[in-house]
Every structure is written in C-alpha cells, then in structure tokens.
C-alpha cells in the first residue's frame, strides 16, 4: 500500500484530500504545527504527526518532515496551506526518493506576489485589471483619479487588510499600514470565481472552477458551486505550460459576464475548489503525476462547510435583502465537506481546533485567524538557506 503525507491538517482541504486518497487505496498521514483534529480524527487517517512551525523553526520543521517520511515510508507529500513556500525552499533537505508536490521557490514567489504576478497574467491572456504599486493612501488616490479602487498588500491572504473603494477613495480614508508594497487595482464589478488546478511539468492534470455563493462578508467562501469557463481553463493551461509548473495552483477571478473573466491574483496552493471532486474522481492520480488526461469533477453537486453555512450563513440569510428560502434550498442540496456518512468525528475535531485557536489567540494577544495561520504565513521576506 502506498503512503501519502498531507500537510496543513488544520484545513478542510486536507481532510478532503485524506478521504479521497484513503478511498482509493492509499495509507494516509496528516501533519501540521497547530491543532489538526479536523483531519486527524477522520477514519481515513492512519496517523497524525506534529511538526514545528515552518515560519518560526524551519530547521525543526524540515527535520520532523524527514523523520516522518522515513518512518512511514512516505512516497508522496502534498501541502495544502502556506507551508508550501517553506517546503519549496527546503525541498533539497528531504529524501529524493519521495515526491514532494512543490515547484521551485522562485516560481512560487512570483505567483504569490500580487504585483509581480500581474505581468505574467497579462502575457498569458488573463485580462487582469489596471494596477499600480503605491506607497501611501495619497499616491493611491492620485493614481485612481476618482475611479473605483481596491487596495491590498503585495502579500496577504483571505482578504485580510484588503480595502474596497467602489465609489473612489474618500477624503477620510486612513493611512496605509506599513506592510511593504501595496497594490492599487481598478475595482471590477462581477461574479467572484475561483479556479483550482493540479499540474505536472507544464500539463494541467486536474481542474475545477467554483462560485463562492455564500461567504464571510467579502472574505472566505463556505459554499462552493460549480462554474464552467473555457476561458479560465485556457489561461491556466497557458500559464502552467509557460512556467513548466508542477503542483497545486489556484486563481481568483472577477467575471462581469460573457466568460470574459479578469484574473485578480494567484494562490500557488490548494483551495476549496478541490471539494468539488468526488471520492471516486482520480484526483490522487493527478497529484502523484500519473494521470494521463485532465480530470474534472464528475458530479455537479455543490459543496459546503456545513457548520459555517448553518451558523454564519443562516445569520446572513436573515438580514434585510437576503433570502432565507434560497439559503435553505442551498443548504438542503449541497454536500458537507466536514461530516460525511461513516466519518462524522471531524465535525467535533473542528470544534476542538477552534478552542485551541481561541486559547492561542489569548496567549499571543491576536485574533483567532492570526493564531490559526501565523505559524505558516510567508510575506515575501528572505528565508534562510537550507
């Protein structure tokens, strides 16, 4: 039996990967540097491995990974979250006999930069919005000249610190925090889409696009509805071939209609699009590089993170201008990605994780989101040589 090690066990995408690999005959291990009961308590998982923080203790992170690979005869390592950047930087320190699903660090740096990525996107036909780098709110106001605007740090995640000015920058807009370069981008109206793909040496082996129909304000989605876009697939194929890219790669889009989407940014890691694949879809073959054609989801059923849909989603549905009937229809028709028949313990595990993040946020005097991600975040700083 082949063995896979899935990193970022805190994330629903890691749980989904684990179930699919186990269903298709792999022995599955998960690893992380924070609480990961969400995936660790799944019946699909053979064992959980605690790692050091790749951001704060990269040497310990690499040493722990090496031990896990050797101890459990791991043949494939699949990252899911931002540990991908550290994994790419220190790949050479891991056994060469194991397939580690990352590309070169410099490629990931290019893709992660919300500024450097745009030139590549333009060259590959991604139709990105007009953009500029700015040093402060005054420079952003001058560049925008009254136009609708988005402001975001060059390196950020989950929409954190992003500012939306659909009516232009007001005179009372606060100064920009010191977070390195900021990107000013023309604000585009339209449907917000996300694409998720798996590539191997320049070939797209798996691909899915979704509309985040329900989301936390303008941040992370928790309801994922299929979307068909030949234009997005053509862009991904061209960019992946241009970079000769290997790994998981995801993009955010705005589509104003007519399948003329504008690519906004890139996440060279897993995102929720992988939830659209069923247990029988050959996504593991794409991840280990053995797929012979591009795999797309066989089922058209929407997916959701049911605990969030049932709480935050319901609260939002009760707000003026929202539809409780539509919320119920969506909730009834979608499949949960957390608790499934025969494997419901991850729902409780996720609550335990939330408790751990809350305690951590109190100790570190930060928000729960920061507590849950700061150990793996990479914001463009130089990383020590392996």
With cut-offs at 50, 70 and 90, classify the pLDDT of residue 171: confident
Rounded to an integer, the average pLDDT of 348-369 is 90
* Contact in structure between 151 and 183 (CB atoms under 8 Å): yes
Which has the closest alpha carbon to 276: 295, 252, 294, 297? 297
Break the chain down into helix, strand, coil percent, rounded to 5: 35, 25, 40
DSSP letter for each residue of 220-268: -EEEEEE---HHHHHHHHHHHHHHT--EEEEEEEEE-STT--EEEEEES
Decide if pLDDT at 160 tops 80.
no
| Residues counted in the chain | 386
Calpha distance 121→254 (Å, rounded): 14
Confidence of residue 50 (pLDDT cuts 50, 70, 90): very high
pLDDT reported for residue 173 = 86
CA diameter of the chain: 63
Residues 129 and 186 sit within 8 Å (Cβ to Cβ): yes
For the chain, helix (H) and strand (E) counts, in that order, are 14, 16
Q: What is the predicted pLDDT for the residue at 301?
A: 97
Number of Cβ within 10 Å of residue 104's Cβ equals: 16
Residue 183: what pLDDT?
93
Cβ atoms of 85 and 55 closer than 8 Å: no
Q: Who wins on pLDDT, 322 or 262?
A: 262
Fold observed for domain 1-102+344-386: Rossmann fold (3.40.50)
Burial category of 226 from C-beta neighbours within 10 Å (exposed 0-12, middle 13-18, buried 19 and up): middle
Give Cα separations from 180 to 115, 153, 187, 366 (angstroms).
Answer: 12, 7, 21, 21
By CB atoms closer than 10 A (0-12, 13-18, 19+), residue 153 is buried
Q: Above 80 in pLDDT, residue 217?
A: no
Contacts of 18 (CB under 8 A, 6+ apart): 6, 28, 30, 39, 42, 44, 45
Alpha helices, DSSP H only, in the chain?
Answer: 12-23, 37-40, 58-71, 83-89, 105-112, 116-123, 137-144, 230-243, 283-287, 306-308, 314-317, 324-333, 345-364, 368-373
Could you tell me whether strands 149-153 and 191-200 are parallel, antiparallel, or unpaired per DSSP bridges? Answer: unpaired
pLDDT of residue 257: 86
For the segment 57-74, the average pLDDT, to the nearest whole number, is 97
Question: Does residue 176 surpass a pLDDT of 90?
Answer: no
pTM of the model: 0.95
d(CA 32, CA 22): 19
| Mean local confidence (pLDDT), 76-87 | 97
pLDDT band at 159 (very low <50, low <70, confident <90, very high): low
Place of tokens 């000015």: 165
Paired with 98 in beta bridges are: none
Query: Which segment of 85-99, 122-136, 155-169, 372-386 scores lowest on mean pLDDT?
Result: 155-169
> At 185, is the pLDDT very low, low, confident or very high (cuts 50, 70, 90)?
very high
d(CA 33, CA 36): 8
Across 83-112, average pLDDT: 96
Of 289, 275, 217, nearest to 246 by C-alpha is 289
For 96-108, what is each residue's pLDDT tens digit? Answer: 999 999 999 999 9
Centre a 10 Å sphere on the Cβ of residue 239 and count the other Cβ atoms it contains: 26
């Amino acid at each position: 039996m082949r063995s896979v090690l899935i990193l970022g066990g805190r994330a629903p995408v890691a749980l989904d990967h684990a179930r699919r690999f186990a269903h298709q005959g792999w022995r599955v291990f998960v690893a992380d540097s924070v609480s990961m009961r969400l995936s660790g308590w799944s019946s699909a998982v053979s064992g959980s491995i605690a790692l050091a923080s790749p951001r704060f203790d990269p040497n310990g992170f690499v040493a722990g990974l090496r031990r896990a690979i050797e101890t459990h005869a791991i043949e494939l390592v699949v990252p899911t979250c931002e540990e991908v950047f550290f994994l790419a930087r220190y790949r050479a320190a891991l056994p060469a006999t194991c397939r580690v699903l990352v590309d070169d660090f410099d490629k990931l740096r290019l893709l992660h930069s919300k500024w450097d990525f745009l030139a590549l996107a333009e060259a590959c036909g991604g139709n990105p919005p007009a953009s500029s780098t700015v040093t402060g709110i005054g420079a952003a106001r001058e560049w925008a000249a009254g136009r609708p605007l988005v402001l975001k740090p060059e390196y950020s995640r989950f929409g954190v610190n992003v500012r939306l000015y659909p009516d232009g920058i007001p005179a009372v807009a606060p100064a920009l925090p010191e977070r390195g370069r900021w990107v000013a981008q023309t604000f585009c109206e339209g449907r917000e889409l996300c694409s998720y793909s798996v590539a191997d040496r320049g070939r797209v082996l798996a691909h899915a696009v979704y509309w985040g129909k329900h989301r936390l304000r303008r941040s992370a989605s928790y309801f994922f509805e299929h979307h068909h876009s030949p234009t997005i697939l053509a862009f991904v194929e061209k960019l992946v071939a241009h970079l000769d890219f290997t790994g998981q790669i995801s993009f955010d889009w705005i589509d104003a209609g007519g399948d003329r989407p504008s690519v906004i940014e890139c996440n060279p890691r897993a995102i929720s699009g992988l939830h659209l694949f069923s247990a029988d879809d050959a996504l593991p073959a794409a991840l280990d590089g053995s797929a012979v054609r591009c795999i797309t989801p066989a089922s058209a059923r929407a997916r959701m993170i049911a605990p969030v849909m049932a709480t935050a989603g319901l609260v939002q549905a009760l707000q003026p201008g929202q539809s409780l009937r539509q919320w119920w229809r969506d909730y009834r028709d979608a499949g949960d990605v957390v608790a499934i028949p025969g494997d419901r313990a991850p729902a409780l595990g996720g609550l335990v994780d939330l408790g751990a993040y809350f305690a951590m946020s109190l100790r570190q005097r930060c928000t729960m989101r920061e507590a849950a991600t700061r150990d793996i975040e990479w914001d463009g700083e130089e990383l020590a040589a392996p």
